[in-house]
């Protein structure tokens, strides 16, 4: 199905994938409505553009994201299965109303959930299975041990962790090889640089930055971001009220860098991105690639979008080079961001490690 080839990266434990993935939470209504055909069209476009890392989870759209991915493998699409790396996750449960979640990481639950994921995906294995959140009631050794059993049984190829602390990464790696750690990382969220990325390097894993566009704030839409419920942005402290206004002011500096890189290309500021104008999202992603080189971490960021054009735009970041002065100005922003990554400090490594945004 793929018409293009993208550069690849070996994360850890022998898992090779493209240097940019697709955040398949966007195949559900997380950031606004998407109908089934638009979801299918967008996913097909990502794969046609050469993206092979598809990031899903059992709870995205209550399984809708996984079911949409299964369409890639149906009928004549069966041969596509081996050319993509499908990631899913276990451990977050919906409880009660919007945004209300709990965590579960016991062995029985992990074993039960993989079977539902495989049925929804229409495949006999996932390439990467993440512990979605660390269960405070269950030692990480039990959860990772349960996923390691699934590796032995052939249902899972590689093990991932989402939002672990640095210490939890080291403990998990004592149980089984960890291929990837996935945590929020962007110009506006740099806390992982303190403990998580050093541990990722130490255990030989790769890193998958989620919400690399700060949930739409680090894009050309920054002035008009829709953060009204039921949109998932409504629950994030940095995307509402006075915090949002402060953070929008910081995006102006990212937009200034985008304008500079556009000028240096000899492209008009009013040109469309498809004609070479550099966007805020492209600068945000190019910054991540620059940090990964500086910090010696192998990454595959996973921007999510409901739009094929934006997949092209986000892949265009691979051609954006930022100079040292631009990187210095972008590096300074996280310290000024108002509001933590999550309203619940226990929910993120940032909260559990007692860190700020920089
Ligand atoms: N492990 C975890 O706990 C966890 C948590 C969150 C997310 N994730 C994963 O990470 C993926 C990405 O994170 P995310 O979706 O939260 O945040 P994100 O990728 O930073 O931002 C997504 C938002 O940005 C918009 N967008 C994307 N590209 C754009 C562009 N070029 N120009 C303008 N707007 C653009 C999208 O809107 P449109 O749809 O309108 O384009 C969407 O609202 C998810 O899909 C999911 O797979 C994992």
Domain CATH for 344: 3.20.20.100
Give a yes or no: residue 2 inside a domain. Answer: no
Residue 313, Cβ density class (10 Å: 0-12 exposed, 13-18 middle, ≥19 buried): buried
Three-class SS of 199-246: HHHHHCCEEEEECCCHHHCCCCCHHHCCCCCCCHHHHCHHHCHHHHHH
d(CA 128, CA 87): 5
Span from the CA of 305 to the centroid of ligand 1 (angstroms): 6
d(CA 181, CA 199): 10
Give a yes or no: residue 126 inside a domain. Answer: yes
Give a yes or no: residue 180 inside a domain. Answer: yes
Given this model, what pLDDT does residue 4 score?
80
Span from the CA of 23 to the centroid of ligand 1 (angstroms): 6
Given this model, what pLDDT does residue 99 score?
63
Nearest residue to 301 via CA among 285, 317, 280 = 285
Give a yes or no: residue 10 inside a domain. Answer: no
Which positions are catalytic?
A: 60
Of 213, 278, 344, the residue with max ligand 1 atoms within 8 A of its CB, to mutate for a pocket test, comes to 213
Ligand 1 atom closest to Cα of residue 182: 1
- Encoded tokens for 2: 């793929």
Expressed as residue numbers, the domain containing 149 is: 17-352
Span from the CA of 139 to the centroid of ligand 1 (angstroms): 30
Give a yes or no: residue 130 inside a domain. Answer: yes
Q: What is the pLDDT along the chain (358 residues), one digit of tens a residue?
A: 566 899 999 999 999 999 999 999 999 998 889 999 999 999 999 999 999 999 999 999 999 999 999 999 998 777 789 999 999 999 999 887 656 789 999 999 999 999 999 999 999 999 999 999 999 999 999 999 999 999 999 999 999 999 999 999 999 999 999 999 999 999 999 999 999 999 999 999 999 999 999 999 999 999 998 777 777 787 899 998 899 999 999 999 999 999 999 999 999 999 999 999 999 999 999 999 999 999 999 999 999 999 999 999 999 999 999 999 999 999 999 999 999 999 888 999 999 999 999 9
Q: What is the pLDDT of residues 33-60, one digit of tens each?
A: 999 999 999 999 999 999 999 999 999 9
Domain count, the chain: 1
Span from the CA of 225 to the centroid of ligand 1 (angstroms): 13
The answer to pTM > 0.95 is yes
Give a yes or no: residue 4 inside a domain. Answer: no
Span from the CA of 130 to the centroid of ligand 1 (angstroms): 18
Q: What residues contact 138, with CB distance under 8 A and at least 6 apart? A: 104, 105, 106
Give a yes or no: residue 5 inside a domain. Answer: no
> What's the chain's average pLDDT?
95
Q: Residue 154: how many CB atoms within 10 A of its CB?
A: 9
Given this model, what pLDDT does residue 228 score?
75
Buried b (16+ CB within 10 A) or exposed e, 254-271: bbebbebbbeeeebeeee
Residue ranges of the alpha helices (H) in the chain? 36-48, 64-70, 107-121, 140-152, 166-175, 196-203, 241-264, 280-295, 308-315, 324-331, 349-352
Ligand 1 atom closest to Cα of residue 313: 31
- Block residue for tokens 């390691």: 148
Give a yes or no: residue 342 inside a domain. Answer: yes
d(CA 298, CA 180): 9
Given this model, what pLDDT does residue 107 score?
98
Buried b (16+ CB within 10 A) or exposed e, 131-145: bbbbbeebebeebbe
Residue ranges around ligand 1 (CB below 6 Å) = 23-26, 31-32, 55, 132, 162-163, 182, 210-216, 219-221, 281, 302-307, 310, 313-314
- Block residue for tokens 């940090």: 291
Ligand 1 atom closest to Cα of residue 133: 3
Q: Find out whether 238 and 340 touch, Cβ atoms under 8 Å.
A: yes
Given this model, what pLDDT does residue 219 score?
98
Given this model, what pLDDT does residue 126 score?
98
Of 131, 280, 304, 310, the residue with max ligand 1 atoms within 8 A of its CB, to mutate for a pocket test, comes to 304
3-state secondary structure at position 189:
strand
Nearest residue to 49 via CA among 309, 320, 319 = 309
Q: Find out whether 279 and 219 touch, Cβ atoms under 8 Å.
A: yes
Given this model, what pLDDT does residue 75 score?
82
């Amino acid at each position: 199905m793929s018409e293009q080839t993208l550069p690849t990266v070996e994360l850890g434990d022998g898992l090779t994938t493209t240097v940019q993935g697709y955040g398949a939470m966007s195949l559900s209504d997380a950031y606004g409505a998407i109908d089934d055909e638009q979801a299918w069209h967008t996913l097909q476009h990502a794969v046609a553009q050469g993206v092979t890392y598809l990031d899903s989870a059992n709870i995205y759209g209550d399984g809708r994201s996984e079911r949409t991915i299964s369409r890639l493998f149906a009928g004549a699409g069966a041969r596509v299965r081996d050319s993509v790396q499908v990631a899913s996750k276990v451990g977050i449960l919906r409880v009660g109303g919007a945004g209300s979640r709990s965590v579960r990481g016991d062995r029985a639950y992990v074993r039960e959930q993989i079977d539902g994921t495989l049925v929804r995906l229409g495949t006999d294995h996932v390439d990467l299975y993440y512990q979605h959140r660390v269960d405070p009631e269950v030692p990480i050794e039990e959860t990772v041990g349960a996923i390691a059993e699934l590796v032995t049984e052939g249902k899972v190829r590689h093990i991932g962790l989402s939002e672990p602390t640095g210490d939890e990464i080291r403990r998990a790696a004592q149980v089984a090889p960890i291929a990837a750690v996935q945590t929020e990382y962007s110009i506006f969220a740099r806390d992982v640089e303190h403990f998580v990325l050093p541990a990722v390097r130490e255990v030989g894993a790769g890193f998958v930055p989620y919400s690399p566009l700060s949930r739409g704030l680090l894009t050309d839409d920054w002035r008009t971001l829709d953060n009204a419920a039921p949109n998932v942005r409504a629950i994030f402290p940095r995307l509402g009220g006075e915090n949002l206004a402060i953070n929008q002011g910081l995006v102006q500096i990212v937009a200034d860098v985008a304008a500079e890189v556009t000028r240096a290309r000899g492209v008009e500021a009013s040109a469309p991105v498809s004609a070479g104008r550099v966007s805020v999202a492209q600068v945000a992603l190019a910054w991540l690639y620059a940090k990964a080189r500086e910090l010696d971490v192998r990454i595959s960021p996973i921007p999510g979008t409901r739009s094929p054009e934006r997949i092209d735009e986000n892949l265009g970041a691979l051609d954006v080079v930022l100079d040292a002065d631009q990187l210095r100005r972008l590096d300074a922003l996280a310290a000024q961001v108002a509001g933590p990554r999550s309203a619940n400090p226990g929910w993120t490594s940032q909260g559990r490690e007692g860190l700020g945004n920089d």
